[in-house]
Amino acid sequence: QEPVFAVMPVQEPGTLNVAWLFRDTYKVIAVDNEKFEKVGRVNCDGESSRLFVDIHLELFPLEAGEVLDIGFVNTLQPHQAEAEDQETWDQSGAEAPVLNMFDYVMFGKIYRKTEEGGEVHVNVSFGGLLMKLSGSRKEFDAMHLDDRIYILASKVSA
């Protein structure tokens, strides 16, 4: 019996088929790093949401006024619908070409999802770095309690 091979189409950078849970462009309103030397709580306003997220500022320095492209996915593999547990990780980017499109990535777990006055709040812990994402219900329908997700961020050039 002949082996069956699947040919994956080659895609240009920036055009990967990514299953985004949510993606928005944010303007950094404030960066508060008074409590911790290397980590700042970043307050951002997006086109359709608000975001508070703890960022390691030595790895991804930010200042008020900068614009960010931030997306959320539950897998880095363009051909998978959900994240699969792996014992090893290839850091070359060959396994997850979407990583080459972003400057800062964290992996975490949704630990709370609430709704108040028609606005949904999604709270995620990235190994102790926290995030609160707020917006309309329809924006966050794909995010569920206990889901494991990635946040991917890049600065948008002016």
At residue 98, the pLDDT reads: 79
- pTM (predicted TM-score): 0.80
**Which H or E run includes 78?**
none
Q: What are 17-62's pLDDT values in tens digits? A: 778 899 999 999 999 999 998 999 999 999 999 999 999 999 999 9
- Summarised one tens digit per residue, pLDDT across range 106-142 is 999 999 999 998 899 999 999 999 999 999 988 899 9
**Greater model confidence, 5 or 97:** 97
Residues found in the chain: 158
Q: How far apart are CA 88 and CA 12, in angstroms?
A: 27
The pLDDT of residue 15 = 52
State how far the alpha carbon of 63 is from the alpha carbons of 28, 34, 44, 69, in Å.
Answer: 7, 14, 11, 15
